[in-house]
Structure 1
Amino acid sequence: MIYLESIHHNQLSPNFVFYNPLLATTPNAETTSMVLAGVLLSLVFIYLASKLGGELSKLVDLPPVLGELVAGVVVGVSALHLLIFPETGAVASDSIVIIILQQIAGLNPESAEKVFALSSKVISILAELGVIILLFEIGLESDLRELQKVGSQAAVVAVVGVIVPFVAATAGLMLIFGLPTIPAVFVGAALTATCIGITSRLLLQLGQLKSIEGQIIVGATVIDDVIGIVILAVVASLAKTGDVDLLNLVYLIISATAFLLGSVFLGKFFNNSFMAIADKLQTRGKLVIPALTFAFLMAFLANTVGLEAILGAFAAGLVLDETDKRKELDQQVIPIADILVPIFFVSIGAKVNLSVLNPTSSGNFQGLAIAAFLILVAIIGKTIAGFAVFGQEKINRLAIGIGMIPRGAVALAFVSVGEINGVLDKPLQAAIIIMVILSTFVAPPLLRFAFQQGEQLTEKPDLALEK
């Protein structure tokens, strides 16, 4: 009887057609059910792609995050169309997910477009939550006490490693390619931050993590990650205002820095209260739930004062890094990051339309040239930073510079924020993604070569003395 009423209802409502008796009997219920189905199927493709990409990447001794990013490109608008978004110019008929739903539930074209838009929005929101959790996790891993031990050497390398690629990329994009100021600044800023996770893993594999060079690299990557997050908050706010006002720029830099430093300072008083609350709670999640509540609150406050939400999440991580249960909290956040962060990486890759960089099309020449230019600046800009080390005679400056080359999460956060604010067009987004991928690909062999060359140089004087 319910099935007959459902069929009858659909005859009266031309916008929605039901063929499955398990579906609800109202248009809104059908839309909700189909959106949920679209989200679930999209998540299936996302997690399959992320694990397959990550495992294949690990097999060839590359960071799993790189595999997730490349897998996103494969399942996205550039190839399989398993995960596509309306903002890439795609429509419902382009989506394999929607085609499958049409075959199962008989959605008509109008309702299919609605389901496509809503399910894509849900995935985008989950991806945004993923990047918030990612920056919270990075904040937890950025040990302020270790930063204090590294000293001025790492700070100099970090600052030079931020300024050189930022200035070179911004000036080059404006003077050579004629880009407007805001997009040029945004792309230049995306080149500033080194990926601490990738760099630390490379150093560990080479047995150089505890070396002087390794300590300077790790310290510098932490510092330039912090600088990169501040820059992201500043340029994102500039993107919202649409112009470069010197007074506004100074205000944004001061407000972002003050928010970060103020959060860390006040966090010293907050930590005791946080631990007292966590100790009194008796149910599951007594540590991680208050921590995530604090992270989301900080993200909300940052967003409220005109900064990026991820700055607040990063600040929350820095604050909670000072608690006595930091290691325990780290372990509890990892499973949450494992669930949400892959959605962010795969979604970023899926939105990259490599056709805008197709070398066979003459109209794509500028996009290809920009991508090549960014890769060059990304490699040279960070390598130069290694030679800024002072007061050290027997130190491998080339290895320090090359160790700063890999880009990662923060650069991808720039792509996400730039897309949301309408600052970065498709060729610029693709160029940044390619820069992230290739900088990560070239770093392992170059770093291995740099350390080998350094060992040979230190051995040669000894050999000469023996003779």
Structure 2
Amino acid sequence: MDYIGGIALILFATTIAGALSQRIGVPSVIGQLLVGILLGPAVLNWIRPGELVSVGAEIGVIILMFMAGLESDLKLLKRYFKPAVSVATFGVILPMACFYVYGLVMHQSFERAVFWGVVFAATSVSISVEVLRELGKLNTKEGATILGAAVVDDIMAVLILSVFVSMFSSRSQQSPNLALSLVEQLAYFVMVYVLIRWIAPILMHLFKRLALPQSVPIMSLIICLGMAYLADLTGLSAVIGAFFAGIAVAQTPAQKEVTANISPIGYAFFVPIFFISVGLEMRFDHFWTNIWLIVGMTVVAILSKLVGGGLGAKLLGFSFNSAYVVGAGMVSRGEMALIIAQIGYQAKLLAPALYSELIVVIILSTVLAPLLLKHAIRRNQTELPAADQQAS
């Protein structure tokens, strides 16, 4: 029964840490992760990685990605399609290229150097959204572009992650039939389209007609877990199935009902266990030895997204300061990078000795991102009155 006490401790500690983090302006994710470090082998050693935490974390990351899909606004993406795609594309390519080169310089293998790029190609704009909302800039051209680019960025990051993990897994297992695996994965993406277009709406409608009060959320979980399982069977990451399942359900009239019912299950129980599990894996034996590696990675993480996202906006006619706002809004890595890092760690795509350092860089880029965005917005505001004066 010790695991019951462990779960109670995890839920209590993550709730308090999340609340304190939000009060001081830091994402609650960071507080939950720090609790994992504190309670884990790195500090107090009260909770250790085990089967219960592993299973809870796996379900947590699947629900987290399902919620990310549910919250993806495809209508907004259609409205700002060109700038969103441009910002997301350059915001993915530049970090991947920079971290690949940086990884080779730091004597990482080809796979591990590429995977550094995959981790930091991801973005999480939940923090940027709060800053934009606070400053009344959420409905501006820059704010809408950031939100649209986040949808494209998430899709690209999940696809790159799944393809890369699949290729590395095939290589490591010396699979004799890579062509068959690729055909299966292509068939899976065709099924994703069919799910979004026809299957999900039909299933959600049928279950809505049942007398059970929770039939619609239950059906959404069946779709989520089923797609995650099928993705895993084809050699893709389970998170891609959960993510596209969320997108599929989001296109149905049941989206708000599903969000209202699934969100408490995920964020109250399974998601905290996932972030705790990330902290439990961290060690600081070589932290000070690798301090300059951490500094270098943090600089590359911030500049590559800032320049990449900004360049994508500038090429489509945004002013310099406006492009600066868009680039700054894409810097935060947050939970998306943590998910990718954890999957890579389990797939042995990250060097165990550098896992903790990578997580620290994700935390630093997430904490510094809102400060950078606020500076960019203030600079852009000073440009607007000057432009108005010149026009008059």
Task: Provide TM-score, normalisation by structure 2.
Answer: 0.92
Return the letter of the residue paired with 1:386: G
TM-aligned CA distance change 1:375 to 1:259, over 3 Å: farther
When residues 248 and 417 of structure 1 are mapped into structure 2, their CA distance, relative to the original with a 3 A threshold, is farther
Contact 2:204 2:219 in 1 (8 A): no
Identity of paired residues, percent?
30
| Aligned position for 1:379 | 302
Q: 1:76 matched to which residue of 2? A: 40
Task: Give 1:207 deviation, angstroms.
Answer: 1.5
Give the 3 Å change call, closer, same or farther, for CA 253–330 of structure 1 in structure 2. Answer: farther
305, 323, 331: which one aligns with 2:252: 323
Measured against aligned partners, the alpha-carbon deviations of 1:83-139 in whole angstroms (never above 9, x if no partner) come to: 222xxxxxxxxxxxxxxxxxxxxxxxxxxxxxxxxxx11111111100000001101
- Pair 1:420-2:384 in alignment: no
For 2:270, give the aligned amino acid.
L
| Counterpart position of 2:30 | 66
Moved more, 47-56 or 392-401: 392-401
- Answer with 62-71 or 157-166: which moved more: 62-71
- Is the 8 Å Cα contact of residues 199 and 218 (structure 1) preserved in structure 2? no
Displacement of 1:230 in angstroms is 0.7
Q: Which residue of 2 aligns with 1:458?
A: 384
Give me the whole-angstrom Cα distance separating, in 2, the residues matched to 1:248 and 1:178. 31
- Over 3 Å counting, the alpha-carbon distance change for 1:462 and 1:428 in structure 2 is same
Separation of aligned partners in 2, 1:164 and 1:210: 27
Tell me which residue corresponds to 2:364: 438
| 1:212 is aligned to 2:141 | yes
Amino acid at match of 1:41: G
Q: Deviations over 1:270-291 (max 9, x none)?
A: 1342133222221232111111
Partner of 1:147: 77
- Alignment pair present for 1:163 and 2:93: yes
Structure 1 runs of 4+ aligned residues shifted over 6 Å read 247-255
Q: What RMSD in Å do the two structures reach over aligned CA positions? A: 2.4
* 1:168-183 equivalence runs, <5 A: 168-174=98-104, 176-183=105-112
Structure 2 CA distance for partners of 1:276 and 1:183, relative to 1, 3 Å: same
Change (3 A) 1:244 1:200: farther
| From 3, 20, 26, the counterpart of 1:56 | 20
Q: CA deviation at 1:250?
A: 9.5
Task: Write the deviation string for residues 139-178 of structure 1: whole angstroms up to 9, x where unpaired.
Answer: 111122221111211101000000000111012111x111
One-letter amino acid matched to 1:318: I
What number of residue pairs does the alignment pair up? 387
| Offset at residue 73 of structure 1 (A) | 1.6
SS in 1 for 2:312: coil
Change (3 A) 1:335 1:393: closer
For 2:194 and 2:107, the matched residues in 1 are separated by 42
Q: Whose relative contact order is higher, 1 or 2, with alpha carbons under 8 Å and at least 6 apart?
A: 2
Counterparts of 2:46 and 2:56, CA distance in 1: 17
Instruction: State how far apart, in whole Å, the 2-side matches of 1:400 and 1:254 are.
Output: 37
3-state DSSP class of the match of 1:354? coil
Residue in 2 that maps onto 1:102 = none
Q: For 1:67-94, what per-residue CA distance to the aligned partner results, in whole angstroms no more than 9, with x for missing partners? A: 1112222222221212222xxxxxxxxx
Q: Greater Rg, structure 1 or structure 2?
A: 1
1:400 aligned residue: 326
Whichever residue aligns with residue 368 of structure 1, its letter is I
Question: Contact between 2:170 and 2:178, CA under 8 Å: does it hold in 1?
Answer: no
What residue number does 1:346 align with? Answer: 276
Q: Deviation of residue 253 (structure 1)?
A: 8.0
Matched, 1:192 2:121: yes
Give the SS at the match of 2:364.
helix
Secondary structure of 1:207 counterpart: coil
CA distance 1:167–1:259, shift in 2 (3 Å): farther
Does structure 1 conserve the Cα–Cα contact (< 8 Å) formed by 2:17 and 2:28? Answer: yes
CA distance in 1 between partners of 2:133 and 2:224 (Å): 30
User: How far off is 1:256 after superposition?
Assistant: 5.4
Q: In the TM superposition, what is the alpha-carbon distance from 1:257 to its structure 2 partner?
A: 6.8
1:76 to 1:273, Cα distance in 2 relative to 1, 3 A? same
C-alpha displacement of 1:52: 1.6
**What SS class does the counterpart of residue 355 from structure 1 fall into?**
coil
Higher mean displacement: 379-388 or 368-377:
368-377
Q: Give the Å deviation of 1:330.
A: 0.9
